[in-house]
Structures are given as structure tokens and as C-alpha cells.
Structure 1
Amino acid sequence: MNKEQEMITVPENERVGKPKDLFFIWFAANIGILGVVYGAMIVGFQLSFVQATLAAFIASLSFILVGYISVIGKKNGITTFMLSRAAFGIRGNWIPNFLGWLNLVGWLAVNVITGTLILLSLMNVFNISQNNTTTMICLLIFASLVLLSGLLNQQQLAKLQTFFTYVFGGLTLVILAILIPDTDWQQLFNMPNGSWLTGFLPAVSIIMAGTGISWSIAGADYSAYQSPDNKNSAIMKSVVFGAVIPLFIIMFVGTLLSTSLPDIATSANPIDVIAHALPSWISVIYFITAVGGLIPQCIISLKSARVNLETMNIRVSDHVSLTIHGAIMIFIPIYVLFISQDFLYNFELFLGLLGIGIAAWGAVFIADYYFNRKAGYKLALLDPNGNHTFNKVGVMSWFVGTIIGFLFTNTDFFDGPFAIGIFRDNSLGLLLAFMSSYLSYVILHPFMNKGGHTSERKQQAQ
């Protein structure tokens, strides 16, 4: 094994993680109070209480995709987009790798903006007026808290996420328990059944897009540090249950709150909407809880973004990497908070469109592993100096899914020609991208023996 190949896998002395570490990592990433907005959004598709509850549960199960990718990472001790080189080739992997990095740093910036606004709301509780100076102070405080996590190793990070799970997960439950009694139960149970095709399915798709599918690009980044002796089933259960439990509970409460807080899903600042519904004595705890729920998501985004940067062969020191991502975390929020607030809305739409490419990538990644799981990943396939530069089947399948996804997707600045009927104003195009890429790979896979990915495996294994 040469030096380049040694850099592909996580060092054996660092592969000491336990499944419970993954449970707390993904639990902490899903305790954010903003999850109630997802629940309210589901009801907004004109669904009954039973339909909304079922939609929340099915959507949360999208983390099975994250769990499956985590199992692959554990078995190989290799991070997500490093493994992705096998499915796309070294050069073919560059575009989805870049999209993954862009998606991570983009949502990281959005979460930093949200965290800054929450800290400003906390200052208002203490009668500290909002101005450019206090806004800048809040931005620097929140960004610094996230950047400090970049100095932690994997074991320290797991302990920190465990802390967030117990402390802020518990506080979130307290906040939700205070809000639940305001539910209008009669209105809730009287909501009529909506359409399963034009309401239920789009509701599930839009939540899946923002949860399991979105987080799939980070799955193996954490499981790569797991001990090789850990059972695959334990990895899967830890990831799925760790994410589904808090996500489903918080979304379920969101469906309840849709009766007492009808504007929560459409408000520009849902955090303040929830705050006004709470007793004044708990306002400080609430805003601290909201901040604490955002930080774990930012930590995961930051770590995976740094890993993705390295996978694109942009190798810099940890301090330089933190400087690059820190600058992005600060400059984008500065532009949004001080110059152009309209930019944030369009930026979020843009990041949503990137999700189509991420979904298509996930399908190709899963399909490639499924067909080649017995042979396993040869490090030569992942070596940037190796011969596996371009896997036509993987790249073609990705393009097919991405194009189909865009054809059936619409936003305020982009309209796919087939984004009509049940495909209008939702994320069904993203699910089509996933399914189309997977089917394309299945159809094209038999031709891989002719100078393609499979034959390369055989040659390099000899």
C-alpha cells in the first residue's frame, strides 16, 4: 500500500468508535426546535391528523439511507465521498463531490444566520436593542462556537454530541410539553382526509429531501471511525433510531401545534412565533435551547465539509481548512444580515435544487455498492493517482437522474417543463432523480464488463 492509499482509510488506531457514538451524533443533529415547522408543513398539505402522523413517520425513515451508507463506511473505514470514487471514478466523482461540499457549507451558512437571529432574540429578552453592533457580536459568538468544534477529534466530538443530546434534547422536550396543552384537539381530529397522491406523497417527499436524503452525504464520515468489530446491524440501528426518535417526536408535536400556531409553517421567523406562545418566564431557556439545537447540525456540516474538501484533493492544514470554512460561515451571513435579506430566500432555493444532484448521487452510490458488495472496495479504485479515473456507468446514471429531477421541479427562478400537477411546488422531482439514477445504473450495469468498472476491479485485484 503506497502513501496515497494510506491516506484513503481512517488510521486503525482511530477506528475505536462504538455504535452508541453514532446514536448520539444523529440524535443531537435532529433535536432542533425548528423540526416543529416540518410537522406544521405536513398538515399544510391538507392532510388529516392520521395522515400527517404517518407522513412524518415515513419521512423520518429516510434516515435508513444514512444508516446504509454508514454501514459501508464502517466496513471500509473510509469516508463518504472517498468511497464515492468507486462509483464515479476519480475525475467523475469531482462534480457530485463539489455539489456535496457546496450543499454542506451553504446550509451551514444558513444555520449560522438562524443562530445569529436567535441570539438577537435572546438579547431582546434582556432589553438589549438590536443594531449592527449587536448583530455582529451575535454572529461572531455563534460562528465561534461552531468553529471551536473543528478543533476536536472524533472521540471528543462524540462526547460533545452526547452532551447536546442529553441537555438540549431534554430542554426541547420541556419546551414542547409546555406547548402541547394549547392544542385544539377538536380541530385536530376533525381535519378531513386529504389526497394520498397530491397531498400525502408530496408532503413525505419534501420532508425526506430536507432530512435523510440531505444528510446522506455525511453518513460514512462518522462511521468510518467505528471499530471494524462492530456489527453492521448495530451501526444501522444506532443511526436510524438516533435520528428517527427525535425527528418524529418533534414533527409530531409540530402537527399538534399547527392548530394553536397556524402561522408557524409560513412565518419568516418561526422561532419568534413559538416564543410568543410560551410563558415569559421560560423565554431565556427557550432561546438557549433553540441555539443548542442548531449547533450540532452545524458541527456535522462543518466536519463533513472539511472531509469533502480533502476528497477533492484540496489538502490544507486543519487551521487553513477552518479559516476557509470560517470565512464562508461569516461572509455569507454578513451579506444576508447587513446588505441583502432577499438573498437568503433565493440562496435557500438554490440549495434545494442542489438536493436533486445529491439524491441522484446517493442512488448511484447505493447501486454501485450493492452490485459490488461481495468484491468490496479495492483501494486502487480510490487512489487519486490510479487508473480508475472515470466510471461511465455511474456518471451517466447520475446525469440521467439529475436531468429528470430538474425536468419535474419548479422554484421561483426555475421551472421544469413537467413540474405540473402533483409535481408542482414540492420535492417529488428529487425522489424521481433518486429512482431514475438507481434504475439507470441497474439497466447499464450488465455492460460494465466491457472495459468498465467491474473489469477494472478484476484487473486491479490481480
Structure 2
Amino acid sequence: MTASKTNDRVGTIETRGIEPVPDSERHGHAGQMFWTWFAANISILGLPLGTTLVAFRGLNIWQAALVAVLGSFGSFALVGALSLAGKKGGAPALTLSRAVFGQRGNAGPTLITWLSRVGWETITTTTAAYALLALLNTAFGVGRGTVLTLVCLLFFITCTLLISGLGHATIMWINKWATVVFGVLNLIVMGFLVATVDWTRVLDTSAGATSGVVAGIGFIAAGTGIGWANAGADYARYLPRGIPGRRLVVASAFGAGIPLVLLISLGSLLAAGDGTLATSSDPVAAINAMLPSWMAIPYLIAAFGGLLMSNHLSTYSAGLTMITLGLRVPRALAVTFDVVLMFAGGIYFILITDDFYGPFSTFLTLLAVPISAWIGVVAVDSLRGRTYDPEAIMDTRSTSRYWYTGGFHLPAVLGWAGAIVAGLLFTKASTSADDVWFAGPLSDTWFGANGLGWAIAMVVAGAVYAVCGPRGSSLAADSSSVSSEALQEAAR
């Protein structure tokens, strides 16, 4: 069967849900991962990450740039490595995760992943609505109001639904060409923003503590690659098995690393030159105010487009995750359900709460722990040579080879749950010194103070699973449709 028979063509609705893609329908090349992750990270949400490094971590611009490189490239190299499971098994990340955690045990990681996706979508939608409101005000003098805010939210959500609803082929095509357009616009805007910086103040900023650098790397990793690590396989599942794995890792790292380093560094530079940026409840308007009036429209178009590129990817993955959770609807309809929640979240952020950065940072901090624990288990499982039985992946009955003990693969589930507890012990999530949402009993230790609870969760989960989990041949699938030769190639 050819790829076209599954409607994986640009402009047609992808009819495939979470079922594994057979070899006869595989197509594409490693470069698609470059454009996928470039698109996911071209949005202006990289700027708040950069302002946080300076305003709340105490780093200077040189330290912030180093942190951006290590956190961005490193975390997305991990995303690329985990996406190899998609090339090998042909299914979304959380669907393949059934083989690791068991058909019932996989529900916990899948639910957390879905919450993560919805959270990211809400933040992105909120920021995009700010951009559209500012664009209307700049171009036509239209003032902000409740009705107009709702219209802007709906417009962005409709654009998201049109792209993510059509599915994989359309997303891959748009990622490449739209990213080029919005990337050029972003570069032009960035040039003007750099020209507004108070360089004397920036260069006089003293270096922060080494612990701040360590904490910054963890914060950037948690806010970028870690948040996407459980989605990499979603976009690699159509790729031929024969593509060398190292190409996917390099393409992912550079695809995300290039825009993130530029945006995070710029955010750090702007915050060092103007301390009020980090406390703004509307980051789009705050940056817009730094530009000459004639430059505002290109900036706002670039902001809106970049956010759309990120949001349609997150929404696509969220739809697949909902189906994995048990929602029995076509993929396109699952995406529709997701955008309804996105709309409600956008209303809350814009019309109810008046703080953008606080919830943003807190959200990243808390969800990074269970996601990192999942990464720890899955990474060890993959390194041990996991292969996937396509029929068993889709069989959620007790007859499935991935049913294990009552539907739970205990080494993976217990390792994941224990790692979450361990990570939260060292985690503090707060919007300010006086507004602490959560503080683990060990959050004031060196690891906790430097925001490394997520890293501890990853290490603990991997260690527990390495000791208690299965090894070698017990991980191999017995599906006759997967040749040993193809599996060796996929593991490269």
C-alpha cells in the first residue's frame, strides 16, 4: 500500500490514528525533523525563558548564552534519540510506551503528557491572542475589549485546528515553508531589538554564581526539550526504518537549538538592558514597545506565525495522546476536543489572571518532574534493545503480550512513580518568594535550590528500571513483520 492510500498527503485529512505505520507506507527523510523542531521553537516564548535567566537567575548575557546552548541543544538531542522509537515502532510515543509500562500502567504517563500538551497550548494561545490584539491596535487603532479578545482567541484556535486537523503531511509541509518566512521576519525584528538595548548596562552586569548557571541549564532544558521529549516519536513514525538514527538526533538538536539559542539570548539581552520586561503581564506588548512604530506590524505577524507553528504541533500530539488514553474517536475529532480546552485556558490567562510569567515558570517546573521520570524509564528500555509488536501495542485486552501483571509492567510503573516522589522532594514551584505553590522537604538543598528535581527524577527512574527491568531478548518483539536486519538499522 502506498502512503497516499492512507491520505497522508498535503491538504487531505490524515485518517491514521495511533496504529503503527507499516513499512510499505513509510516515507520522508531525516531533514523533516530539523524543520519540525525549528517550527516548534521559533515562537517568542523563547524570550521569556531568556528574561528569566537574567531577572531571576542572576546571570549576565555571556552566561545566559552558554546556558541557552547547553540547555537547548542538549535537551533536543535527547528528543531526537527518543524519537528513534517512532522510526522503529511506527506509532506515537505514548502508544509505544504501552510496551514499557503495560496497557494499564501506561495511563499515568499518558495523562501527564496530555496535561503538559494542553498547558503548552494554553500558554501559546494566550500569547498569540496578545499578539493579534496588539496587531489590530497598531494597524487599525482598535482597542482591546472582552469580545475582541474572544474573537482573537477563536481565530488563532481555528488556524491551529485547520493545520493539526489535516494531520502529518500538511504539518510537515507547513513546517518547512512557513518557518522560512517567519524565521526571516524574526531575524529582521531581532536586529531592531538588539539596536534598542542599553549596552552599557548590559556589559556592566556582573557574572552570576556557578549555581545559577547550573540551575539555568536545568530550567532551559525543562522548558524546551524535556517538554517535547514525549512527542518526538509522533513525527518520526512515518520515516523509513533505514534512516540512520544519528541523523535524527543531529537534525533535532540543530533544528531546535538554532532558534532557541537566538531567542533565549535575545531575551536575556533585553532583560539585562531593561529590567521591567521580566515583570510584564503581556510580553508581546512589552517587546512591541521597544520597537519603532513602523516595525511593529512585521514583529506582531512574526510573533503570531511563530506561535502558530508551535501550537499546531502540540495540538497534533495532544490528539494522539487522547486517543491513546482511550478516547474512541477519529484523530481529527480528538484534535477538536483538545482545542475547546485550549480556548477555555486562553480565556483564563487573558481575562482572569494578571500574571503571565509566574504560572508559566511554575507550570514548567512541576510537569518536568513526571515527564523526566518517563524519559528515564523509556531511555533505559530503548538502550536495552526494545522492539515493538504492532498487534500487541493495539491490543488493550488481557490477552495482549503487553498486559504483564494486571495490565501493569511493575518495574517501569514503580520506577516512574518512585522517581516522581524523589524528584518532587527537591522541587519548589512558586510565582514569587511570597507565593509558593509547592515546596518539597529537600527543595532548599543544593539540588533543590538549583532546580534539578527533574534531573533527579530522570536518574532515579532510569536507575530503578535498569536494576529491576527486563533485559535482552525479553524486550524483543516476536512479530514476523519486523526483520532483524531492519531492526539493527533502526537502532543505529
Structure 2 length-normalised TM = 0.85
What is the CA–CA distance in structure 2 between the aligned matches of 1:344 and 1:258, rounded to whole Å? 13
Contact kept, 8 Å, 1:85 with 1:381, in 2: the verdict is: no
**3-state DSSP class of the match of 1:150?**
helix
Contact kept, 8 Å, 1:38 with 1:265, in 2: the verdict is: no
**3-state DSSP class of the match of 1:388?**
coil
Distance 1:31 1:347, change over 3 A: closer
Partner of 2:58: 46
What is the CA–CA distance in structure 2 between the aligned matches of 1:105 and 1:253, rounded to whole Å? 27
Contact kept, 8 Å, 2:131 with 2:304, in 1: the verdict is: yes
Contact kept, 8 Å, 2:130 with 2:284, in 1: the verdict is: no
Contact kept, 8 Å, 1:105 with 1:325, in 2: the verdict is: yes
Is the aligned partner of 1:292 residue 2:310? Answer: no
| 5+ long unaligned stretches in structure 2 | 1-16, 430-435, 481-492
**3-state DSSP class of the match of 2:279?**
coil
Distance 1:74 1:50, change over 3 A: same
Letter in 2 for 1:99: I
Partner of 2:129: 116
| 5+ long unaligned stretches in structure 1 | 1-5
Is the aligned partner of 1:30 residue 2:41? Answer: yes
Distance 1:343 1:167, change over 3 A: closer
**3-state DSSP class of the match of 1:62?**
helix
My pick for the range that moved more, 218-227 or 378-387, is: 378-387
Partner of 1:19: 30
What is the CA–CA distance in structure 1 between the aligned matches of 2:355 and 2:295, rounded to whole Å? 32
1:270-281 correspondence runs (5 A): 270-281=283-294
Q: Deviations over 1:108-146 (max 9, x none)?
A: 122112211221111221211211221121111111111
Equivalent position to 2:443, from 419, 430, 439: 419
1:46-125 correspondence runs (5 A): 46-60=58-72, 61-125=74-138
My pick for the range that moved more, 149-158 or 355-364, is: 149-158
Partner of 2:7: none
Structure 1 residue 377: Cα displacement: 2.5
Equivalent position to 2:465, from 429, 441, 450: 441
What is the CA–CA distance in structure 1 between the aligned matches of 2:477 and 2:307, rounded to whole Å? 47
What is the CA–CA distance in structure 1 between the aligned matches of 2:258 and 2:109, rounded to whole Å? 30
Letter in 2 for 1:415: A
Equivalent position to 1:370, from 365, 374, 383: 383
Partner of 2:145: 131
Letter in 2 for 1:109: T
Partner of 2:485: none
Contact kept, 8 Å, 2:327 with 2:334, in 1: the verdict is: no
**3-state DSSP class of the match of 1:316?**
coil
My pick for the range that moved more, 216-225 or 34-43, is: 34-43
Distance 1:15 1:339, change over 3 A: same
My pick for the range that moved more, 99-108 or 414-423, is: 414-423
Contact kept, 8 Å, 1:409 with 1:426, in 2: the verdict is: no
Contact kept, 8 Å, 2:49 with 2:267, in 1: the verdict is: yes
**3-state DSSP class of the match of 1:103?**
helix
Structure 1 residue 261: Cα displacement: 2.5
1:203-222 correspondence runs (5 A): 203-222=216-235
Distance 1:54 1:301, change over 3 A: same
Partner of 1:3: none
Distance 1:303 1:14, change over 3 A: farther
Letter in 1 for 2:149: T
Is the aligned partner of 1:283 residue 2:307? Answer: no
Contact kept, 8 Å, 2:59 with 2:212, in 1: the verdict is: yes
What is the CA–CA distance in structure 1 between the aligned matches of 2:123 and 2:355, rounded to whole Å? 13
What is the CA–CA distance in structure 2 between the aligned matches of 1:245 and 1:401, rounded to whole Å? 32
What is the CA–CA distance in structure 1 between the aligned matches of 2:47 and 2:475, rounded to whole Å? 47
**3-state DSSP class of the match of 1:307?**
helix
Equivalent position to 2:186, from 172, 184, 198: 172
Letter in 2 for 1:58: L
Q: Deviations over 1:180-223 (max 9, x none)?
A: 12334444344333221x21111111111110001101100000
What is the CA–CA distance in structure 2 between the aligned matches of 1:455 and 1:338, rounded to whole Å? 55
Equivalent position to 2:421, from 380, 389, 403: 403
Contact kept, 8 Å, 2:129 with 2:149, in 1: the verdict is: yes
Q: Deviations over 1:311-355 (max 9, x none)?
A: 123220244313311211222323444455579955873564122
Contact kept, 8 Å, 2:377 with 2:412, in 1: the verdict is: yes
Partner of 1:355: 368
**3-state DSSP class of the match of 1:194?**
coil
Letter in 2 for 1:145: C
Letter in 2 for 1:358: I
Structure 1 residue 430: Cα displacement: 1.2
* Between structures 1 and 2, the one with greater helix share: 1
Letter in 2 for 1:179: L
Q: Deviations over 1:239-276 (max 9, x none)?
A: 11111111112222223223323222332222211111
Structure 1 length-normalised TM = 0.90
What is the CA–CA distance in structure 2 between the aligned matches of 1:363 and 1:237, rounded to whole Å? 21
Letter in 1 for 2:456: L
Letter in 2 for 1:395: V
Q: Deviations over 1:272-312 (max 9, x none)?
A: 11111100001111111111110111111111011111212
Distance 1:211 1:82, change over 3 A: same
Aligned residues: 448
**3-state DSSP class of the match of 1:414?**
strand
What is the CA–CA distance in structure 2 between the aligned matches of 1:77 and 1:317, rounded to whole Å? 18
Equivalent position to 2:411, from 393, 409, 412: 393
Contact kept, 8 Å, 1:56 with 1:252, in 2: the verdict is: yes
**3-state DSSP class of the match of 2:428?**
coil
Distance 1:48 1:131, change over 3 A: closer
